[in-house]
Chains A and B, each alone.
Chain A
Amino acid sequence: MTGSSVSVIDLVHRHVGQQHPVLVDKIAIEAGEKVAIMGPSGCGKTTLLSCIAGILSPSSGEVQVGETRIDQLSDARRRKFRREHIGLVFQEFELLEHIDVMENSFLPLWLDGREPTEEEHAKLIERSRRCGIEDLLHRKPRALSQGERQRAAVCRALMTSPSLILADEPTGSLDRDSGRAVLDLLFEEADLTGATVIVVTHDSTILDGFDRVEALAGSVS
């Protein structure tokens, strides 16, 4: 698996009921790059990430991941593309509380209507060992620490061996050491698979390991 390049050109996204649209002139990220996106609060970092993931549909502009123009896909195809090619990590982990860590990791496969293969099962065990949560696979999220939860979320994001990993403030709810550990883990996994990593953050102390930083100016006022 190799990483996907990401290209964003003249992106405009106007939230319903929001006065100022989010504008991004141009971002070009090479396959396999590790890029941090920074900017002041409200500048549209999360919106940009959501547009790249296909969670939001831009009002205008181009969003391309690999060879695929995300902005031109239907909602159903964007969802499918997301399941198959993109791993998402969120600030608040967003693990389902009623299933254990292993089942949370299998969630992207379940959403595709299938059970994990033996190979995928073995990969999860191996990955969970690297993430240090091998013994926690059968625990519910509420029984885990914040750091363990985020590592579990990383395991879920990597379940489908995505070519693009998008992380939205992945260290925002963690202390400095735990945050660093999670980022290192993401980078390690990305190095193993060659996946592209885009991390949205406002924390300038975690920039070690990124290939470069993209700064967003903000929305038009």
Chain B
Amino acid sequence: MSGPMLRLALRSLAHHKVRTVVLALCIALVGVLPAAVDGLLDLYRARLEARALSTPLVVGAPGSRSDLLIHALYYRGVVERSIEMKVAMEAGESGLGVPIPIHLEGSVNQYPLVGTTPDYQEFRGIRLAQGHHWPQRLAEAALGAGVARSLDLTVGGTIATDVHKLHDLAGSYPLLLKVTAVLPATGTPDDDAVFVSLHTSWVVTGEGHGHLKIDPEKDFHLVLESKSNHVTASAAVVEAVEVTPENEDSFHFHGDPDQLPITALIIDAKDDEGATILRSRFRRQKDLQTIDSMVELKELLTVVMRAKAILDANSMLVIVATTLLLILIVTLDVKVREREVKTLERIGAPRGFVARLLFTEISIVVLAGGILSYLLAIAAIRFIAEGPLLLP
């Protein structure tokens, strides 16, 4: 391609601005979806694999293995089965690794509420961005960076848990959480989760509760029924339960603590041998299932890739259709520019000059559309990547 040819092509494109811009935009829009999907899939695959690699062994209730993976590693989905806390106790007593229970129920402003132990912080190597300690006391919470940014919360702030049982006549009240720590942004599901102690998460899900002190003399407007040793308060007037130094001791759990539910158990094994022994022990128990995170993730990604293949085929059809339309437009364009073509031929344009000129023009438009498509895809990937992982 010579300089004069390029100049002629650029002049022509600039002269037909609207046509040039519309064509470039069409190409950009056709290309942006497959490019963005490819980029996002690569990004998510890298993130998901990193998470799975750092969490190799997970124990949970029998059932869907992919659901267990998604609950335990990515804090998504509706939990339908749980295991008992005693599984964690036994794993800890074996001395072969550190068990890290995950209790995934409840939410805060739609962000998942994750009950766990302080071992989680060490396991993930989390250095707090704000605050000094991982939540251990009742109603303390550590916010993921995304949650803190989105809700504009810092250490010292408070936030209530979401109410899921709106029609519960027994009364299901949000628990007021005190923010004691904010996690740094890591690009992992931790960014979009709220961490609390296991006790807090059990209180939120109704496994434990406290008692409000009601003085029938002063709080007569809250009293439904008053007997000599028992006062029944109106459920309608309680907006949120706040744990205070005065009522903290009243919170308690009924039943055997070993039987309290957890969603999954992450095993931070001491070594490979410890992991093998624990895996073997858990596999022998029929009411448990053990998953190798990386294996499960690869199976999950295979399904995603099959879906992507359909999308790719669709994109290919759109690209072929666009190319045919482009050919049609160029053919019509040659008709419209017949006079210009004739002039060039008459004053001595070499054979094929007009064809090369048109090809140069198309190449510039396709290149511009491609660059625009790439930039749009990058912008879309950056925008979406800042949000939560796209998991069910």
A98 close to B4 (CB less than 8 A): no
CA distance A87 to B90 in the complex (A): 99
Q: What is the minimal beta-carbon distance from A170 to any residue of chain B, in angstroms?
A: 14
In-complex Cβ contact of A98 among B2, B14, B342, B347 (8 A) = B14
CA distance A110 to B342 in the complex (A): 16
B349 within 8 A of A: yes
A109 within 8 A of B: yes
CA distance A96 to B15 in the complex (A): 11
A80 close to B14 (CB less than 8 A): no
Q: What is the minimal beta-carbon distance from B19 to any residue of chain A, in angstroms?
A: 12
Knowing A75-B351, A97-B15, A98-B15 are in contact, say whether A113-B4 is a contact too (CB < 8 A): yes
Nearest-CB residue, chain A, relative to B344: A111
What 0/1 pattern do residues 335 to 354 of B give for CB contact below 8 A with A? 00001101111111111010
B343 close to A96 (CB less than 8 A): yes
Nearest-CB residue, chain B, relative to A54: B348
CA distance A76 to B348 in the complex (A): 9
B353 close to A111 (CB less than 8 A): yes
In-complex Cβ contact of A103 among B11, B16, B343 (8 A) = B11
CA distance A99 to B4 in the complex (A): 12
Within 8 A of A (CB), among B137-177: none
B7 within 8 A of A: yes
Knowing A94-B339, A97-B15, A98-B14 are in contact, say whether A83-B347 is a contact too (CB < 8 A): yes
B347 close to A82 (CB less than 8 A): yes
B12 within 8 A of A: yes
Interface residue count on the A side (C-beta < 8 Å) = 29
B125 within 8 A of A: no
CA distance A82 to B353 in the complex (A): 15
Within 8 A of B (CB), among A49-103: 53, 55, 75-76, 79-80, 82-84, 86, 88, 90, 94-99, 103
Nearest-CB residue, chain B, relative to A168: B346
What 0/1 pattern do residues 36 to 65 of B give for CB contact below 8 A with A? 000000000000000000000000000000
In-complex Cβ contact of B349 among A53, A103, A111 (8 A) = A111
Knowing A79-B348, A80-B350, A111-B350 are in contact, say whether A94-B4 is a contact too (CB < 8 A): no
Instruction: Find chain A residues with CB under 8 A from B345 CB.
Output: 55
A80 close to B348 (CB less than 8 A): yes
Interface residue count on the B side (C-beta < 8 Å) = 24
CA distance A100 to B11 in the complex (A): 10
A108 within 8 A of B: yes
Instruction: Find chain A residues with CB under 8 A from B349 CB.
Output: 79, 111
Nearest-CB residue, chain B, relative to A111: B349
Instruction: Find chain B residues with CB under 8 A from A83 CB.
Output: 347-348
Knowing A94-B343, A111-B344 are in contact, say whether A76-B350 is a contact too (CB < 8 A): yes
Nearest-CB residue, chain A, relative to B339: A94
A107 close to B11 (CB less than 8 A): no
CA distance A95 to B353 in the complex (A): 17
Q: What is the minimal beta-carbon distance from A75 to any residue of chain B, in angstroms?
A: 7
Within 8 A of A (CB), among B241-265: none
Instruction: Find chain B residues with CB under 8 A from A109 CB.
Output: 4
B5 within 8 A of A: yes
CA distance A217 to B7 in the complex (A): 45
In-complex Cβ contact of A96 among B4, B5, B340, B353 (8 A) = B340
A115 within 8 A of B: yes
CA distance A80 to B350 in the complex (A): 7
Nearest-CB residue, chain B, relative to A87: B347
CA distance A103 to B6 in the complex (A): 13
Q: What is the minimal beta-carbon distance from A28 to any residue of chain B, in angstroms?
A: 25
A99 close to B11 (CB less than 8 A): yes
B3 within 8 A of A: yes
B8 within 8 A of A: yes
Spell out B's residues near A (CB within 8 Å): 2-5, 7-8, 11-12, 14-16, 339-340, 342-351, 353
A-B contact pairs, 30 of them (CB 8 A): A53-B346, A76-B350, A76-B351, A79-B348, A79-B349, A79-B350, A80-B348, A80-B350, A83-B348, A84-B348, A88-B346, A88-B347, A90-B346, A94-B343, A96-B340, A97-B15, A98-B15, A99-B8, A103-B7, A106-B4, A107-B344, A109-B4, A110-B5, A110-B7, A110-B8, A111-B348, A111-B353, A113-B2, A114-B4, A115-B3
Spell out A's residues near B (CB within 8 Å): 53, 55, 75-76, 79-80, 82-84, 86, 88, 90, 94-99, 103, 106-111, 113-115, 156
